[in-house]
């Protein structure tokens, strides 16, 4: 899917199951317009990580 000619959307994923995180990450990374920049297993990790790594989309 082609959304724009601009930089890809920066995506972060939060899920407590490693297999789900991995599957979503693999699928979204296949899209040219999306870049998975962070994976989180807990909300604490997410909140700490978002301070240093801004994202455009957060998948919970």
pLDDT tens column, 42-60: 999 999 999 998 999 999 9
- pTM summary value: 0.82
- The CATH number for 20's domain is 3.40.50.2300
User: How would you list the strands of the sheet with 34-40, edge to edge?
Assistant: 34-40, 9-14, 57-59
| Within a domain: 3 | no
Q: What is the span of the domain harbouring residue 27?
A: 9-59
Cα separation values, 29 from 4, 19, 42, 57, Å? 16, 15, 21, 13
Rg of the Cα atoms in the chain: 12
Please give the tally of structural domains in the chain. Answer: 1
| Within a domain: 37 | yes
Query: CA 2, 36, 7, 51 torsion: positive or negative?
Result: positive
| Within a domain: 51 | yes
Q: What is the pLDDT of residue 7?
A: 87
The residue behind tokens 């990374």 is 29
């Amino acid at each position: 899917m082609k959304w724009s000619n601009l930089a890809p959307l920066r995506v972060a994923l939060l899920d407590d199951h490693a297999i789900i995180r991995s599957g979503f990450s693999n699928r979204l990374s296949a899209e040219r317009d999306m870049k998975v920049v962070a994976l989180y297993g807990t909300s604490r990790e997410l909140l700490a990580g978002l301070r240093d790594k801004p994202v455009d989309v957060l998948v919970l």
